[in-house]
A and B are shown apart, each in its own frame.
Chain A
């Protein structure tokens, strides 16, 4: 996606308008969140625990419905429009890597033969084409996460949700997966909403950072990271990266104060 239209000029994929989610009588998990996701956006939701990041993802994925407000897919939502990566790899331990990636197709009753190429492509993109017939327990934590990512993008979804996918991995693996995720994004031009606790991760990965505050969960401000993709190791050590990190860090600080 080298020639991505500038932010704001991208066709919308999904629109959230004044979305509220209240649990019980007075626990406000999300208060008036509005967000327009453009095609090709890499959006990070950054904020402390309890700021409604995960609630926002569950609302978008349809696992919960909002108390009030609207969430609209432009052109309506079809099965397979959404890919999800959880904090844990969430693979089926009784199924091989290939069968795990096949799952979204299988649930749509498509035969394995008819989507074999897509499955192979997805696994090639995450560098696991040699592990087609391995079982999850034979893989390392990072590799399992790659399978999970391959499964999320194998249907070429319009939007991929990632809920702190690398939080449980060690720093070195996390670094590597961040680089690989961006390489992947450049190749297939996916649209991503990525939940994270990490300022550094959010700046490295995304072009839009939504900073959120807790109690009640709400959006405090939005930052833009205008460094062009593809971003590599050079970006990580650039003064520009440091400046963006400082800005995001300050915003996060303000979000904590506001809570």
Chain B
């Protein structure tokens, strides 16, 4: 099998191999080309139509803003990143913790789960103003907003995972007289891991969204302003280039979070879980 893969014997296999190699290159090359083309097109549209920079700045102007405003923007990015990461950490602790608690106590689950759902389905934008009235610290308020958005996917997917134990394994543990903690620690938590990681990936993106929404609601408060607040502020000043620069940093942050969580998921699952196994063609 592996012999055949390293040294193709007939024309069919050679063709398949070539296609596979091309696809591998295209997977990286095409998005990069696409990006280069869009930037070129954007630049061409701006210059060809003489669009003023306070309506649509060209890519060069945005780049300049990224470089010149770097002290302000990096400071803002750091703040947004801090809110996002802290919210994600609390979302994991709160979501997974509640899931385990609910799993252990049916009573608690029946009493509290509906409220977790209500908290999730109520748009955070509508809760945020209230939060900022009652929570004095702006940092704590933003954290709370981001947490509300991010914790639910972790809670619901971990709950699903804890309940998805193979029923024969469950019987086996019972026959061997496993305690409730042994069952939780040795059987349910490993079973729930792939589900948890799926929820975590969603929560990563949501905690960034939550942080951005919280900043917008909290408003531009001078020194402690994150990227979203900078976007808003630059908008008031018609500094469109800086808006684009800050926006691209938010996007980059989202991509980074997703990539980091994907790597984490792969590291934890690649040895045993189906989702991480390459299928033999």
Interface residues of A (CB under 8 A from B): 61-63, 79-80, 82, 84, 86, 88, 90, 92-95, 103-104, 106-108, 135-137
Contacts and interface: CB of A to CB of B under 8 A. Distances in A.
A108 B177 CA distance: 8
5 contacts: A88-B168, A93-B272, A94-B193, A94-B271, A106-B186
A90 B186 contact: no
A255 to B, nearest CB: 27
Contacts of A103: 172, 176, 186
Q: Is the interface of A mostly helix, strand, loop or mixed?
A: loop
B271 to A, nearest CB: 6
B169 interface: yes
Nearest to B169: A90
Given A90-B166, A107-B182, A79 B273 contact: no
B198 to A, nearest CB: 16
A107 B271 CA distance: 24
Given A84-B171, A103-B176, A107-B177, 5 more contacts: A61-B175, A86-B172, A107-B178, A107-B186, A108-B176
Nearest to A91: B169
A86 B173 CA distance: 13
A101 B190 CA distance: 17
B211 to A, nearest CB: 33
A94 B274 contact: no
Classify chain B's interface size. Answer: 20 to 34
A135 B176 contact: no
A84 B172 contact: yes
A195 B38 CA distance: 67
Contacts of B53: none
Given A63-B171, A90-B166, A90-B172, A137 B277 contact: yes
A79 B177 contact: yes
Contacts of B237: none
Interface of B: 166, 168-169, 171-178, 182, 186-187, 190, 193, 271-274, 277
A136 B182 CA distance: 21
Q: Which 6 A-B pairs have the closest CB atoms?
A: A90-B168, A94-B190, A86-B168, A107-B176, A93-B272, A79-B177
A92 B272 CA distance: 9
Given A82-B175, A103-B176, A137 B274 contact: yes
Contacts of B187: 92
B191 to A, nearest CB: 8
A84 B175 contact: yes
B175 to A, nearest CB: 5
A33 B173 CA distance: 26
A135 B271 CA distance: 7
Nearest to A104: B176
Contacts of A94: 190, 193, 271-273
Nearest to A86: B168
Given A92-B190, A137-B274, A63 B168 contact: no
A92 B176 contact: no
Nearest to B182: A107
A137 B270 CA distance: 11
A92 B169 contact: yes
Contacts of B168: 86, 88, 90
Contacts of B186: 103, 106-107
Contacts of A137: 272, 274, 277
Contacts of B182: 107
A103 B178 CA distance: 10
Given A84-B172, A88-B168, A107-B182, A93 B273 contact: yes
Contacts of A95: 190, 272
Interface centre among B168, B172, B273, B277 (most CB of A within 10 A): B172
Contacts of B177: 79, 107-108
B192 to A, nearest CB: 11
A142 to B, nearest CB: 18
A2 B246 CA distance: 82
A94 B197 CA distance: 15
Contacts of B193: 94
A108 B175 CA distance: 12
B274 A107 contact: no
A106 B169 CA distance: 15
A57 to B, nearest CB: 10
Interface centre among A79, A84, A94, A95 (most CB of B within 10 A): A94
B175 A135 contact: no
A90 B171 CA distance: 10
Nearest to B268: A94
Contact of A63 (B175, B271, B273, B277): B175
Contacts of A135: 271-272
A82 B177 CA distance: 11
A86 B193 CA distance: 24
Contacts of B175: 61-63, 82, 84
A79 B177 CA distance: 7
A66 to B, nearest CB: 16
